Each structure stands twice: as structure tokens, then as C-alpha cells.
Amino acid sequence: MKIRIASSIALAAALALGASGCSLIAPIATLDPYAPSDGRDIDVDGLEVRNILLIADETGENFNVVFTGLNAGESAEDLMISFVGEGSQQAAAEFRVEPGLSQFGDPDDGDNPPVLVSIPNLKPGATVTAYLSTPGSAEVEYEIPVLDGELAEYERFVLPEYVEADQGEDADGEGSTEAGGDAEQGADSESAGSESAE
């Protein structure tokens, strides 16, 4: 009887060891942090940038910078992002992340209007190199995915064709603008012109 019990215990131990052998030798992938969506999760000196990606507008030439920012501090932080395309083509965008959770890129959000960047030859389906930093911190380099509105969850981030990116670029080809800014300026100029004509 004692022999049978010992044999049963030994067999159970062997089966348990065999079933768990892979996890004893190989690292468990589920313990590695990863972005559960299409964007990238990046930590930048106290700021958590979650699910960042670029969404092409209806022209396919300008890109809405979409992400969620988490600021665990008690004061607002500035986040600078430089996108580097082919050659020396660059575009820069800056965001002010208030304490708590903030959504960027949503056209229905009056507190954080969308910011467009224009990067020649960049197409949905590609990635673009981005350098993220806060004042006084080192830059963090990451590859950011570029998408369009083909997926339903991103349709609302696709800005209409009439919203154009600022064409004023410096020698490095940098350029960005808040969505709707040019349209508002054009409307103000047209209104002023009609008043002066009267």
C-alpha cells in the first residue's frame, strides 16, 4: 500500500513538472508590457503617452496626432514631439498636458483641439520616427504607426478635407497647426474685407 501511494505521488509530481516546464525555462510573454491597441505606449519623464498614432485626414496629406496623456503630477507639463520622415523632412507638434487624463486629437474636444502635422510622402500603413520629450528631459525615440479611417474606431479622428495644415515651414521642413486655425483666420480676413468695402 505504501509503495502504491509513493508511486502515485511521484507520477503526479512528474506530470506537474512536465506541464510547467516551459514556464520554468522560457520567459512569460504576458508579463511584458505592451500596447493593447494599434498605437504605442511611451513614458516621457513623468508623462504617460498612451496609444499614440497618426490618423490621416481626408486628403491623406496631413495627419492628426492622436493619443491619451496621463499626467500624475500637480501641474501642467509640455510635451514636444518631432516627427522625422524621409530625408530631412520633419514636423513638430507641442501639447500641454494638464494633471490627470487628457485626450488629444478628438475634433469634438474643445479643450484640446486636434493638431495636424504634414510629412511629405508619408502614407497610412507606414510608421514614422518620433522623438518625444518634456522641457529638460532627454528625447525618447519611437516608431509611431500611421493609420486612416478604415477602422470604425478611428473614423471620428479623420479630419475633413477643408482643414489644411499650415504651409509655413522652416528650412528643415517643419510644420504643424491646430485644426481649424487657418479656416478661422480666413473667415476673419474675409469679414474684415467686406466691412471695409461697405
The pLDDT confidence band at residue 14, using thresholds 50, 70 and 90, is low
The mean pLDDT of the chain is 77
Q: Is the pLDDT of residue 186 over 70?
A: no
pLDDT (tens digit per residue) in 51-108: 999 999 999 999 999 999 999 999 999 999 999 988 777 899 999 999 999 999 999 9
How confident is the model over 1-21, as a mean pLDDT? Answer: 52
8 Å CB contact between 90 and 84 = yes
Given this model, what pLDDT does residue 8 score? Answer: 53
* Domain count across the chain: 2
Whether residues 45 and 108 fall in one domain: yes
C-alpha to C-alpha distance for 48 and 70, rounded to whole angstroms: 5
Domain holding 166: CATH number?
Answer: 2.60.40
pLDDT digits (tens, 9 = 90+) for 141-169: 999 999 998 889 999 999 997 554 443 34
The whole-number pLDDT of residue 183 equals 41
Q: Are residues 84 and 104 in the same domain?
A: yes
The reply to whether 55 and 118 lie within a common domain is yes
Q: pLDDT over 70 for what percent of the chain?
A: 63
Euclidean distance between CA atoms 104 and 122, whole angstroms = 21
At residue 168, the pLDDT reads 35
Question: What is the extent of the structural domain holding 163?
Answer: 40-182
Which residue type sits at 107?
P
Q: How large is the average pLDDT for residues 170-197? A: 48
Q: Is residue 178 part of a domain?
A: yes
Residues 74 and 161 in one domain: yes
Supply the pLDDT for residue 162. 56
Which whole-number Å values give the CA distances from 142 to 66, 77, 139, in the listed order? 15, 20, 10
CA distance 122 to 128: 8
Average pLDDT over residues 185-191: 44
Cβ neighbours of 181 (radius 10 Å): 16
Does 77 share its domain with 158? yes
Same domain, 67 and 101: yes
